[in-house]
Amino acid sequence: MSLIVPESTKIFTSFFLFGLLNNILYVVILSAAIDLVGAATPKAVVLLADVVPAFIFKLTAPFFIHTISYVSRIWSLVALSSLGMLLISLTPESSIGVKVFGIVLASFSSGFGEVSFLQLTHYYNEEMSLGGFASGTGGAGLFGSFLFMFMTNILGIKVWLVLLLFALVPLGFLATFYLLLPSPGLMETELESLDRIDGELYEPKTYSLESLKLHVSKTITLITPLVLPYMLPLSSVYVSEYVINQGISPTLLFPLDDLPHWLFSTYRDIYVVYGFLYQLGVFISRSSMNFGIRIKQLYALSLLQFANVVITLYQSVYDAPFSSIWPLMGLIFYEGLLGGFSYVNTFMSVSEDIPKTEREFSMGCVSISDSLGIVLAGCINWWLETKLCGLQVQRGRDWCSKGSSF
């Protein structure tokens, strides 16, 4: 007797896998940041290389993404991300420039994928597809950070070999797209009208200077109403959480003798564990819409996340209010919860508020927000991490300047 899987389950599972596969390399690269560039180099180098290409793609995508078929997008994602991971893993430790180029390729692929899959949700049951994708991106953080922590901290596998194994992960895009994803549940005439918004042609049919000017003007007009209600609060949440993750958390360290040695054998292990706890919070909150949880006060999430910046910054500078690592680990988990809630509820609001004729375009545009926030955080962290570490060294706490394990 054959098992018949409901189409809604196939849709949810497909988009869950798309989110998981699209974000997992991004998470693994950030988890390996201290191993890739060493303790003396600001982790903002990796953060910026891991997000700036994705941000640039998202920023420009609204002007041309509609001209690229989804089949071409899938194959491009596989090629870019696999090549990027091969360069990161197989390049000698001294060739940081080549490693950074590999990170850039993987980042470009991640931005390309997020825009594409968020837009693709428009052609399916959006509760299933968007819920699956958001949950999958959260799962990528949890699964990626846990696997990296388990394979390096506990099993002791060399970091370069772990990264090489992850170069095979993008092949899952092909299997999901061709073997699992159902055909879109829209009328054929609607599928043929990918270039229309509000009944007007979205893609210029001629490429004269005037038509291109008109196209750019129309696109900017469509983006503008999305800025204040959706893009600004999501960007501000991401600025705060990535200032914590890559700027402050590398300096939130405690004596190794006070920590369980099965989990923390070096100071870089603390950084990796923080990353896992953050991603655990993100996964739980990004999956929340599947349980009917909705938060519509997007700016409230921004304020709560900024409060976490203030607390962790104070901890780094004054070694207070926490005298042990455990409450701080709880705060990092809570930080992840806020970030995930902000992400999933922002895109749910777009899905609920924006007319269907503009929804595919709007989903792609709002996806700019998280990358913008991370880029701004990376610029801040370039100075902040070095400054905080210097202050700690002056107090005799030189742990933040120690060791990589690549």
Q: How far apart are CA 385 and CA 375, in angstroms?
A: 15
pLDDT higher than threshold 70 for residue 197: no
205 pLDDT band, cuts 50/70/90, is very low
Residue 201: strand, helix, or coil: strand
- Backbone φ and ψ of 200, nearest 5°: -110, 155
For tokens 């054929």, name the residue: 188
Which DSSP letter does residue 401 get?
G
- Cβ 33 vs Cβ 47: under 8 Å: yes
pLDDT of residue 190: 43
Query: Which pair of tokens denotes residue 221?
Result: 């007009």
Supply the pLDDT for residue 187.
37
**Torsion region of 318: left, alpha or beta (phi above 0 gives left; psi -120 to 50 gives alpha):** alpha
Beta partners for residue 201, in sequence order: 196
Instruction: Tell the residue number behind the tokens 């054998």, with chain if given.
Output: 265
According to CATH, the topology of domain 8-401 is Growth Hormone; Chain: A; (1.20.1250)
What pLDDT shows up at residue 50? 79
Reported pTM:
0.75
DSSP classification of residue 199: T
pLDDT (0 to 100) of residue 117:
92
Rounded distance between C-alpha atoms, residue 136 and residue 7, angstroms:
18
Q: How many CA atoms lie within 13 A of 350 on its CB side?
A: 32
Q: Any residues with CB less than 8 A from the CB of 262 and at least 6 apart, and which?
A: 154
What count of residues does the chain have? 406
Please check the confidence at residue 329 and state whether its pLDDT lies above 90: yes
Q: How far is CA 216 from the centre of its chain?
A: 27
Q: How many CB atoms neighbour CB 93 within 10 A?
A: 14
Which pLDDT score, from 0 to 100, does residue 127 have? 79
What is the β-pairing status of strands 200-201 and 196-197?
Answer: antiparallel
Q: What pLDDT, on a 0 to 100 scale, did the predictor assign at position 40?
A: 63
Q: Which residues pair with 196 in a beta bridge?
A: 201
Q: Are 10 and 181 in contact (CB under 8 A)?
A: yes
The pLDDT, as a whole number, for residue 194 is 42
